[in-house]
Amino acid sequence: MAPLATQVGAGAMWGAVFVGGLAEASLGGLRLVGRVRRFFPPVVCGTVIVVIGLALGQVAVRLSIGAGRVIDLAFALGVVATVLTLQLGAREVLGGILARGAIFVSIWVVGLGLGSVAGEVEWSLVASRPWLAWPQLFPYGGPGFGWEFPLAAVLVVLAAYLGSMVESLGDYAATCEVAGVAYRERHMNRGILAEGLGSAFASVLGALPCTSYTQNIGIIATTRVASRFVVQIAAGVLLLYGLCPKFGALLVAMPRPVLGGVFVLICGSIVVAGLRLLGQGADGGLGERQALIAGTTLVLALAAPVVVERVLGPEWLAARPAALSLVLGNSVVLAVLVGVTLQVLLGPDRPLDRRG
């Protein structure tokens, strides 16, 4: 969403997020998810997710570097080192809670602990915020007073929603498998309906769209607890955090490279999730056609925006129509368009002949 806001403005981004959320909710509410899914087999979804992770990784690295100071790099590397240490060396401590919450712990230890010692935490910002406050509706404008709905921005967000939606369908299937529940189409439709409504409502509060989180499946598999009641309790706790401005101020007050280091790890997990999805193709791997689809999509999606900017220049790109500018300058949109087009043209690989 950040690159989109840079290209079309925050008002257009929030408007597109709202429209995209309603569109996603409509797919689930009208039970159309199954029809859309056939255009996004694992080879397309996995490739798009890999592109998302790599594209976001550039932002994560820039955050980690910060102003280029030694202390900025130390914060980012400290977060990564803390997470790896907890995940590899604290699996049996406190029933594995420290290992599963490694990112959360590293933020507080490195970001607030070491950041405070180094004088890099803006505690005055935290002190100025109240303990309790209701969220403000439309904090960055709204329909008719700040939001815009350009078609190009809406198409970009819809492409991102489709990629996220297909990843969520895989998450639903994995969750059902871990929980020992048969995966049915109603799970798809209800899940996508909830994500779409949540994303649309999130834009009203000035928040980012909602989606499933693949790593949570590992928590269910480890704890063997898949109760909805437990999830509802956790959601209630998060709601309390959202009503406490001081908690949000803590995240803003800590050094940016700390969040950059966390973001690097998250982007890495996104890339791995995409690679795993790629491995779910026919016969447990990539056939010739699937490899062609994945390889061509990755190269064009990652290289085309860089080549266009460096060869033709940002001025040339800015002078093009908004839709063309967003397509040529956005790796995720290119990945979706190229991947789906090649999938339709080439079709799936034929099953291997295992006779003999």
Q: Cα separation of 195 and 109, whole Å?
A: 32
> Of the segments 73-77, 137-141, 174-178, 248-252, which one has the largest average pLDDT value?
73-77
The confidence band for 25, taking pLDDT boundaries of 50, 70 and 90, is: very high
User: What is the sign, positive or negative, of the torsion defined by CA atoms of 97, 103, 106, 111?
Assistant: negative
Average pLDDT over residues 191-219: 83
- For residue 29, pLDDT over 50 is answered with yes
The confidence band for 196, taking pLDDT boundaries of 50, 70 and 90, is: very high
42-65 vs 331-346: helix crossing angle, rounded to 10:
160
Check: pTM over 0.75? Answer yes or no: no
CB 220 within 8 A of CB 226: yes
Average pLDDT over residues 98-122: 81
Predicted local confidence at residue 48, as pLDDT: 81
For 100, other C-beta atoms within 10 Å of its C-beta total 21
DSSP state, residue 55: H
Burial of 51 (0-12, 13-18, 19+ CB in 10 A): buried
Domain locations in the chain? 2-346
Predicted local confidence at residue 96, as pLDDT: 66
Residue 74's contacts (CB-CB under 8 Å, 6 or more residues apart) are none
The confidence band for 215, taking pLDDT boundaries of 50, 70 and 90, is: low
Task: Assign 3-class secondary structure to 99-110.
Answer: HHCHHHHHHHHH
Read off the pLDDT of residues 32-89 as tens digits, 9 standing for 90 and up: 887 777 777 778 878 887 887 888 888 888 888 888 888 888 888 888 888 888 878 7
Share of the chain above pLDDT 70, in %: 86
Amino acid at 88: L
**Rg of the chain on CA atoms, in Å:** 21
The confidence band for 223, taking pLDDT boundaries of 50, 70 and 90, is: low
CB 48 within 8 A of CB 332: yes
Read off the pLDDT of residues 231-267 as tens digits, 9 standing for 90 and up: 889 888 888 888 888 888 888 888 888 888 888 888 8
